[in-house]
Amino acid sequence: MTVIRSALASLFLAGLLVLPALRPADAQIPADVLVVGQIAEPASMDPAVSTATNDFRILVNLYEGLVRYKPGTLEVEPALAESWTISEDGRVYEFKLRQAVTFHDGTPFDAEAVKFNFERMLDENHPAAGTGPFPLAFFFSAIEKVEVVDPQTVRFTLTEAFAPFLSNLAYPTGLIVSPSAVTEQGQDYARNPVGTGPFRFVEWVGSQQVTIERNPDYWGEPAKLQTVVFRPIADANTRAAEMLAGGIDVMVEVPPDALGQFSGGDFQVHEQAGPHLWFLILNTREGPLQDKRVRQAVNYAIDKQVIADNILQGTAVPAKGPIAPAFEWAYDDTIEGYPHDPDKAKALLAEAGAEGARLTFYVAESGSGMLDPVAIGTAIQADLAKVGLEVEIQTYEWNTYLANVNAGLGDKADMAEMAWMTNDPDTLPYLTLRTDALPENGGFNSGYYSNPELDRILDEARRESEQDKRGELYRQAQRIIVEDAPWAFIAHWQQNAVTTGTVQGFALQPSFFLLLDDVSKQ
Amino acid sequence: MPAYVLGRLLALLPVLFGLSLIVFLIMALIPGDPAQAILGSYATPENVARINRDLGLDRSLPVQYLTWLGNVVTGDLGRSYSLNRPVLDEVLERFSATLILAGAALVLASVLGLLAGIVSAVYQYGLADKLVTFAVLIGISLPSFWLGLLLILLFAVRWRLLPVSGMYAIYGGGGLVDLLWHLILPATTLAVVAAGVIARLTRSAMLEVLRQDFVRTARAKGVSERGVVFRHALKAAMVTVIPVIGIQAGFVLGGAVYIETVFQWPGIGRMLVDAIGTRDILLVQGGVLVVAASYVLFNLLADVVQRLLDPRIAA
């Protein structure tokens, strides 16, 4: 049987010899090409269609809106609009547009283009309405009409004063697409984007990569990189391995467990707090949590610092209230919140006669912005057990979970995990804590919290177009919400990213967008 | 034979029809819907209703299914809302990637499995047999996603010999060499279990054949040992082994789901998992149809080869 033996041996040898010989010429990434490891393939490159942060990371480099967030903040500054005026009653916004800006397809950016963009989303009979659906069009549902005053001036009339309008314009849903490209491509536009941004689209290879390159005709400071490649790498371990092996230059959303691998050495870890809140919805209509003291006890009983430090390994900071500190102008930094205090929790429970109460707790298995929901849920369960509350966890797959929670907790559950990432301090409380937002009214107030004073403040803040006055109203709202404790405030996520040592000028934004025009490689 | 093949192909139609109905019902029955998946936190009843109307999901289930079926007959698998492109384009692109991966894995598994099986049968109870049996046991028991991660850590991260993931290099890539280069780790990982199963089966089939009279006759006639093993015994043993390779083709296709995720291979397995997560029912339907049809075709192919090898079956 020497034949077989020698056949095997030669096969093995051949393998050893041939493999390195076959190895393709060292595929080094050139110095002006940046490769970004993303968490998934984008769903669409049409900003009016996209809803995911994963898509936005690409879109904000291809497109611009009338306004944008000032780098490093959540404050609005001019972009495609040079300036604007707001009428006394807060209903009419008139924008002066930047001159001599062209889309990547060569067509001019003007007031007609702006009108086209918003009417496409809002008017069902618009010729390009078939390029939808436009899931976040309701961001602009306050728009009554868009008028072209002259080619460089566009006027928006709102049905009522709506102060978040500007920050909604800065959100990716407000990015401006080329009308002629949309008209020509129809539904295929979603994979052939044309904007005005510092980068233009090159190709999208299904589930492998999206490539963009420097826009040589950009009106502003040209991008430093020649090319950026976005690679979807769904598995977090594989993404980390690619980073360690030099296959990518930037990795976003590093899982807490993998962060340690990148500390020191040739890598740089970036962290940035954003407008994110992780909280528990407490059922204020049914069960033991109807009593405010029991809700406050739940808040005191949970050790938020331990969750942020140990479970999330420093990728989050404890939350003190309903509004993220990233909204600097609206955040009340005098609020103490509910520091971990089991004794106070026990005293409150005793006062309310709720010792040993049983609570049903909805926990998601995963989900957008939910971080590590099962581990956090279990930690909360253990903390509540220490003050004598018996918590039963029920877990659900994310889509099922949303359907259950959004319908209202009813008599089925006492607490539910939830996380939101928003672009304006108005969004979260307005959609989830007002009386008008109860599930029976079609809102997200799944815990049935109702406080007429808060309703009034939130309505007023929406109509107030002066930022300082608005900020003061949100600070009032925070104090009320923290005192009433319709939620247990747990954590604010800090998004993170890792870059290789060669990447220069990289910074994460509080908006969670990934702006790459200032980035270069050495 | 042509009549047999035609008959089997016709039998495929009711299978596919039944399958599409079951998949459709499962997708309709599981909680959560596409609008929920698109809107996430913003899924108000009003927004959900609007998206459902836009996607045509506000019609009754039978109407939705029949519309889909009618379109399929004309070759239109619909449009994926989660990827914003025609289902057919996506499915074909992704399926060809899976075929490359699964095909390579199957070839690798067959070659390794047959060799290992023959070696351990010929040297029954010898050291080679024990080594192979041990290796096979390990191979069958390893979870493939874990093996894949381990191989990545060793070959790509530690030694930097092979790429971590993907199908082509993003820079200076493309071409057959690049493809093979990216194929080594995922195909090996995927082949391990199937190779073990094939090795075990080949061993027992060969042992049985080697004890038979015609083998002794061949040896008595003075046929070389190499001739006995490969020309006489192996050919007879293949009749048992071939259908198992056909069945392994199905397992390899199924196992590709994990491997495609770990190695970021742009295949149809991962596409289906993602599509289920986003409740992209048209994409799920299209993908399942193609995978199921190909599975049935693989088995048909195995049966045909088996008939060609062993005329007794056809009789």
Q: How far is A482 from chain B (nearest CA, A)?
A: 22
Residue of A nearest to B258 (CA): A235
Nearest beta carbon to residue A241 from set B40, B164, B171: B164
Residue B139 burial class via C-beta count within 10 angstroms: exposed 0-12, middle 13-18, buried 19 and up: buried
- Residue A318 forms beta bridges with which residues? A491
Q: What is the DSSP string of A239-271?
A: HHHHHHHTS-SEEES--HHHHGGGSSTTEEEEE
Interface touch B42/A51, C-beta < 8 Å: yes
Contact B83 A43 (CB under 8 A): yes
Q: What per-residue confidence (pLDDT) applies to B243?
A: 84
* Chain centre to alpha carbon of residue A208: 23
Q: What's this model's pTM, rounded to 2 decimal places?
A: 0.88
Beta strands in A20-163 (DSSP E): 33-38, 67-69, 76-78, 81-86, 92-97, 143-150, 153-158
Judged against a pLDDT cut of 80, whether residue B68 lies above it is answered with yes
The distance of A295 to chain B (nearest Cα, Å) reads: 23
Q: Which residues in chain B are contacts of A37 at CB distance < 8 A?
A: none
pLDDT one-digit tens code per residue, B14-48: 988 998 899 889 888 877 778 877 887 777 777 88
- 8 Å CB contact between B119 and B133: no
Out of B90, B178, B279, name the one closest to residue A24 (CB): B178
H or E element at residue A428: helix A427-432
3-class state of residue A86 by DSSP: strand
pLDDT at A28 over 90: no
SS3 assignment, position A154: strand
3-class DSSP assignment, residue A158: strand
- Mean pLDDT over A487-514 rounds to 94
Amino acid at A105: D
Nearest-CA distance B5 → chain A (Å): 35
Query: Minimum mean pLDDT among A12-26, A312-326, B7-21, B120-134: which range?
Result: A12-26
Which of B180, B184, B261 is closest, CB to CB, to A234? B261
* Contact between chains at B94 and A233 (C-beta distance less than 8 A): no
Q: Are B260 and B269 in contact (CB under 8 A)?
A: yes
* B135 interfacial to chain A (CB closer than 8 Å): no
Residues B185-230: pLDDT tens digits? 999 999 999 999 999 999 999 999 999 999 999 999 988 888 888 8
Whether residue B203 contacts residue B117, with contact meaning beta carbons closer than 8 Å, is answered with yes
**Is B262 in contact with A237 (Cβ distance < 8 A)?**
yes
Sign of CA dihedral A27, A29, A33, A39: positive
CA-CA-CA-CA dihedral for B246, B249, B250, B252, to nearest 10: 150
Residue A358 has pLDDT above 60, yes or no: yes
d(CA A492, CA A273): 7
Beta bridge partners of A147: A155
- Residues B233-286: pLDDT tens digits? 998 899 889 888 888 888 888 888 889 999 999 999 999 988 988 889 899 999
pLDDT of residue B82: 87
The dihedral built from the CA positions of residue A255, A417, A74 and A132, taken in this order, carries a sign that is positive
Please state, for a pLDDT cut of 90, what percent of chain A lies above it: 80
Whole-number pLDDT of residue A9: 59
Check residue A23 and give its pLDDT: 58
Task: Pick the closest to residue B190 from B261, B91, B127 (CA basis).
Answer: B261
State how far the Cα of A76 lies from the Cα of A95, in Å rounded to an integer. 14
Distance CA A498, CA A360 (A): 39
Best residue in A28, A238, A417 for a mutation probing chain B (most B CBs within 10 Å): A238
Distance (Å, rounded) from C-alpha B75 to C-alpha A110? 42
Distance from CA of A154 to the nearest CA of B (A): 28
Yes or no: say if B144 and B193 are a contact pair by the CB < 8 Å rule: yes
Query: Which residue is associated with the tokens 């001036």?
Result: A153
Inform me whether the C-beta atom of residue B157 falls under 8 Å from chain A C-beta atoms. Answer: yes
Report the residue from A4, A49, A418 with minimal CB separation from B84.
A49
Residue of higher predicted confidence among A474 and B232: A474
Check CB contact under 8 Å for A8 and B119: yes
Predicted confidence at residue A21, as pLDDT, reads 53
Mean pLDDT of A494-504: 93
The answer to whether B126 faces chain A, any CB pair under 8 Å, is no
Chain B residues 105-124 with CB within 8 Å of chain A: 115, 118-119, 122-123
Rounded to whole angstroms, the Cα distance separating A216 from A206 reads: 26
Q: Give, in order, the Cα–Cα distances in Å from A439 to each of A421, B33, B96.
A: 20, 18, 46
Residue B84 pLDDT exceeds 90 = no
Rounded to an integer, what distance in angstroms lies between the CA atom of residue A349 and that of residue A149? 62
Residue A141 has pLDDT above 60, yes or no: yes
What is the distance, to the nearest Å, from the Cα of residue B37 to the centroid of all Cα atoms in its chain?
28
Residue of A235, A248, A421, A430 to mutate when probing chain B, most B C-beta within 10 A = A235
- Which amino acid is it at A510? P
* Interface A-B: count of C-beta contacts within 8 A: 179
| Alpha carbon of A21: minimum distance to chain B alpha carbons (Å) | 11
Q: Is A177 helix (H, G, I), strand (E, B) or coil?
A: coil
Give the C-alpha separation, A398 to A205, whole Å.
28
Residue A212 corresponds to which tokens in the numbers above? 């963009």
Average pLDDT of the residues in A139-149: 96
Q: Say which range, A20-24, A249-253, A436-440, B292-296, has the weakest mean pLDDT.
A: A20-24
Cα-based distances in Å from B148 to A300, A326, B152, B203, B257 = 45, 40, 6, 27, 12
Pick the closest to residue A315 from A255, A385, A375, A381 (CA basis).
A255
Q: Is the pLDDT of residue B11 over 80?
A: yes
d(CA A283, CA B65) in angstroms, rounded, equals 39
Helices (H), chain B: 2-29, 34-39, 45-55, 61-73, 87-122, 127-141, 144-151, 176-210, 213-221, 225-226, 234-262, 268-277, 281-309, 311-314
Nearest residue of B to residue A243, measured between CA atoms: B157
Tell whether the model's pLDDT for residue A19 goes beyond 80: no
Decide if B29 touches A, using CB distance below 8 A. Answer: no
Mean pLDDT of A87-100: 96
Q: Which single residue is written with the structure tokens 């907790």? A: A409
B28 Cβ under 8 Å from any chain A Cβ: no
Chain B interface test: which of A399, A421, A424, A431 (most B C-beta within 10 Å) = A399
Chain B residue with CA closest to A45: the answer is B84
- Closest by alpha carbon to B282, among B72, B46, B111? B72
> In terms of pLDDT, which residue wins out, B38 or A102?
A102
Question: How many C-beta atoms lie closer than 10 Å to residue B25's C-beta?
Answer: 12
Contact yes or no for B262 and A235 at CB 8 A: yes
Report whether pLDDT(A1) > 50: no
* Chain A residues closer than 8 Å to B58 by CB: none
Range A164-180 average pLDDT = 96
CA atoms within 13 A on the CB side of A209: 23
Neighbours of A228 (CB within 10 A): 26
- Across chain B, what does the average pLDDT equal? 89
Confidence of residue A11 (pLDDT cuts 50, 70, 90): low
What residues form DSSP beta bridges with A280?
A417, A488
Whose tokens are 């029920």? That residue is A394
Rounded Cα distance, A55 and A469, in Å:
34
pLDDT on residue A369: 85
> With contacts defined as CB-CB under 8 Å, which chain A residues touch B169?
24, 27
Closest-CA residue of B relative to A28 is B171
